[in-house]
Structure 1
Amino acid sequence: MSERNPDSRRSTEGWSPPQWTRSQADGIERTPETVAPVIEPPPEDPAADLHIWDTWLLRDRHGEIAEIDGWRVLFSLTAPEELLPGKRHDVAEIRFFYSRNGTEWHGGDRVFEADALGQRQWAGSALYDDGELYLYYTAAGDESADDLNYTQRIAVGHGGRFEADEDGVWSEGPWRHETILEPDGEWYENEDQSRGMIYTFRDPWFFEDPETGETNLLFEANTPVPVDSDRCDGDEAQTEFNGSVGVAASPSGDPLDWELEPPLLDGVCVNQELERPHVVPRDGRYYLFFSSHMHTFSPGLHGFDGLYGFVADSLRGEYEPLNGSGLVVTNPASVPFQAYSWMAFPYRDEILVQSFYNYREFAGDSLDGIADLSEAEQRRRFGGTLSPTLRLDVDGDRTRIHGTLAHWHIPTSEEELPDTDEYRPPDEVGSDDGYVDRVDARMDRHRTVGYLRSNY
């Protein structure tokens, strides 16, 4: 366990976080550098009996992919394959898979057999530290309530361990579960304060700063904005879109000891959800990434389901949007919901981006339209597995998709990837006709507090 220098912590008195501004987000557009290829179903699916979505890798304190006796491990939110895909969030469980070569994956067992917090568990991160395993997750729903609800708090499972032999990896308990963070109502909105379409306090992601040694936990949150606030030029509807990237710090470096600090990035007036935030250090700079949806952009802005990114010279620096607007990866206009929940990680001189295969052969204006299909069609169109891994070129504040790997391909450090400049984006990189008008109409329908159907 490392201990950070107490003098390295930036004073937060009188400090406000960098903002993702409306003028920056107004520049969002599909370009050849940001549009991923159309995804085809994989020839084989190592988890065909499960729906799989948000996924993360087991890493060490330095952000490197960890191994347990030569096995690398990834974690996914899962639900039974026979469940209607749109209902999967209500029963989500964390399962794990393991591989020696980064292409052939096995497993699919639950990490926790019992006693995890919440009515179900949503996304997080996993730390393997000197043989100790810490699985950070979102405890979604109050387990003491009779009805399904959307209370969220950040939790950790620890005390259990992974064992391995030549045949595979398995989880052994007992696991101890505890809540480590809840919103304070000052920097981070609590559920009672929420006026937006979706309430968020979730997606913990462990990060130890390579420059300062500071131990951090990033998460998705919302910034409290009073109804009479002068933010967003007094536009009350825009203030309901108040996503932020939150952060907590561990003064001692203890993975169980956390103190809330002000957000790293503020998306008030721009977007409601800055999901699964994470940082990739590269060339002395800090690349902050998160995912967001088309429908969570503020009135008057028109974004896409995509991976968005910012860069700064320090973790608590002045973040500037990548590619001018923040958009790094999005889906083709013909299949705007084919992938989601992107996770970037370093690989040699490039950055790789993993996501899950969402809905194919669907070009509606909103995922609400999925619910209008027959149950058989909903199941057929849902990928429910890992997408092809994208290869990302990064040069300062510019990025470019320059190639792809197969579904479920997470290369090992010894693997040589081919030199390629042959990637060509889909032909339809621009917005389709009538898109802006349809999005505006859809947003008008969605201005209610709650968990939307569009979280399919």
Structure 2
Amino acid sequence: MFDLPGSWVWDFWFADDGDGYHLFFLYASRALRDPDARHYRASIGHAVSTDLVNWTQVEDALVRSDAPAFDDLATWTGSVVRHPDGTWFLFYTGATAAPDGKNIQRIGYATSPDLHVWTKAPGPVLEAEGPWYEKLSSGAWHDEAFRDPWVFPDPEGDGWHMLITARAPEGPVDGRGVIGHAWSADLRTWELREPLSAPSPKGFGQLEVVQAEVVDGSPVLIFSCLGDQATASRRGSHGGTWAVPAESLLGPFDIDGAYPLTDESLYVGRLLRRRSDGQWLLFAFHHVGEDGLFVGGVTDPMPVRWEGDRLVRQVPERVDEAPLAGG
């Protein structure tokens, strides 16, 4: 697994440059003592690997900007894609504090020629707007949820799509989590579109760190949500990462059909196809231990397969995993 002795490591995402793998991750110093305080001290770290098991930490990718800026509180989860001209784009969540102490989330990006040195674009490119998406002014939720951009090329070659953790302005408060959607022709300018799912009494307050992939020929959406942030009908499921079968990478996504891919001990599941053999793998971070306390650290790869219409994970046989402490 990948972890750091002096920091908590949690949300993460990957990039494959054709030769090696790049892990981008959120981390914050354990000197904070309280793991809940990590969110407002998050930076985006970077590590590299050739086998997806042994990782070497390299120079950080991004840190928060000086105020005033849309990301002056923290830089949060995102995704990386490569433009046809060779430029790498890292889309990320920027958080800033609202006057009442809550936070507002917007989406920005940075570019790089080599995945190592990143230059932020000025300002955000997307934020929550009506009539489709809930604003902080509604008072219904603890933040203005508009984060975790997952960007991928259109399957038909028509530009790029972004899936977003967002909330609808109507519906049951703890079931308003929706898959936000935006489109771009060039990765730089984005058009906000209506969500690809609907709020539901059987849904979730937030669909965190969304990802859509075609795994062995079948489209699937994964996201994460804990029981205390979901509708009552979901709280007994103890799911951490959830999966939803889909018709395509653009849904529509029937969130009522979501089922647990992991329990709450593992959070923020990510799917990645191993280049060497085509095997699809699931990664997650260690969320809570048996004592109920936050753990942190990214797991080793766990193979996944379809059993009927459900995606399931296989627990890795490797038992001698040892954290690699940065370098």
Q: Name the CA shift for 1:101/1:283 in 2 (closer, same or farther; >3 Å).
A: closer
- 2:60 is equivalent to residue 106 of structure 1: no
Q: Is the 8 A contact 1:198 1:272 kept in 2?
A: no
Match of 2:286 among 340, 347, 357: 357
Q: Is the 8 A contact 2:227 2:239 kept in 1?
A: yes
Aligned pairs (5 A) from 1:295-314: 295-302=228-235, 303-314=237-248
User: Within 2, Cα distance between the matches of 1:294 and 1:108?
Assistant: 35
User: Within 2, Cα distance between the matches of 1:86 and 1:124?
Assistant: 20
1:121 counterpart letter in structure 2: T
Query: Helix, strand or coil: the match of 1:162?
Result: coil
Q: Partner of 2:303 in structure 1?
A: 391
Match of 1:81 among 15, 18, 30: 30
Query: Helix, strand or coil: the match of 2:72?
Result: coil
Q: Is the 8 A contact 1:284 1:313 kept in 2?
A: no
Q: Name the CA shift for 1:134/1:178 in 2 (closer, same or farther; >3 Å).
A: farther
User: Within 1, Cα distance between the matches of 2:200 and 2:37?
Assistant: 29
Q: Partner of 1:375 in structure 2?
A: none
Q: Partner of 2:9 in structure 1?
A: 52
> Which structure shows the bigger proportion of residues in helix conformation?
1
Query: Helix, strand or coil: the match of 2:145?
Result: coil
Q: Name the CA shift for 1:72/1:408 in 2 (closer, same or farther; >3 Å).
A: farther
Shift of 1:260: 1.0
Relative contact order higher in (CA < 8 Å, ≥ 6 apart):
1
Runs of 4+ in structure 1 over 6 Å off: none
Shift of 1:345: 2.5
Query: Helix, strand or coil: the match of 1:88?
Result: helix
Q: Is the 8 A contact 1:387 1:408 kept in 2?
A: no
Q: Partner of 1:141 in structure 2?
A: 96
Query: Helix, strand or coil: the match of 2:196?
Result: strand
Q: Partner of 1:176 in structure 2?
A: 121
Shift of 1:211: 4.0
1:288 counterpart letter in structure 2: L
User: Within 2, Cα distance between the matches of 1:301 and 1:81?
Assistant: 32
User: Within 1, Cα distance between the matches of 2:48 and 2:41?
Assistant: 23
Q: Partner of 1:185 in structure 2?
A: 130
User: Within 1, Cα distance between the matches of 2:271 and 2:40?
Assistant: 26
Shift of 1:248: 0.4
- 2:211 is equivalent to residue 256 of structure 1: no
Query: Helix, strand or coil: the match of 1:118?
Result: coil
Q: Name the CA shift for 1:349/1:105 in 2 (closer, same or farther; >3 Å).
A: closer
Q: Name the CA shift for 1:147/1:296 in 2 (closer, same or farther; >3 Å).
A: closer
Q: Is the 8 A contact 2:47 2:56 kept in 1?
A: yes
Shift of 1:388: 3.3
User: Within 2, Cα distance between the matches of 1:136 and 1:89?
Assistant: 18
Q: Name the CA shift for 1:408/1:340 in 2 (closer, same or farther; >3 Å).
A: farther
User: Within 2, Cα distance between the matches of 1:261 and 1:154?
Assistant: 14
Query: Helix, strand or coil: the match of 2:137?
Result: helix
TM-score (norm. length: structure 2): 0.84
Aligned pairs (5 A) from 1:4-83: 47-58=4-15, 65-67=16-18, 70-83=19-32
User: Within 2, Cα distance between the matches of 1:172 and 1:403?
Assistant: 35
Aligned pairs (5 A) from 1:361-372: 361-363=290-292
1:261 counterpart letter in structure 2: R
Aligned pairs (5 A) from 1:313-392: 313-320=247-254, 325-331=257-263, 337-347=264-274, 350-363=279-292, 381-392=293-304
Query: How high is the sequence identity, in percent, across the aligned residues?
Result: 25
RMSD of equivalent CA atoms: 2.8
Query: Helix, strand or coil: the match of 1:172?
Result: coil
- 2:106 is equivalent to residue 153 of structure 1: yes
2:258 counterpart letter in structure 1: G
Unpaired stretches in structure 1, ≥5 consecutive residues: 1-41, 59-64, 164-170, 226-230, 232-237, 332-336, 364-380, 410-456
TM-score (norm. length: structure 1): 0.62
Q: Partner of 1:120 in structure 2?
A: 74
Q: Is the 8 A contact 2:208 2:223 kept in 1?
A: yes
Aligned pairs, number: 311
Query: Helix, strand or coil: the match of 1:82?
Result: helix
Q: Name the CA shift for 1:220/1:405 in 2 (closer, same or farther; >3 Å).
A: farther
Q: Is the 8 A contact 2:77 2:93 kept in 1?
A: yes
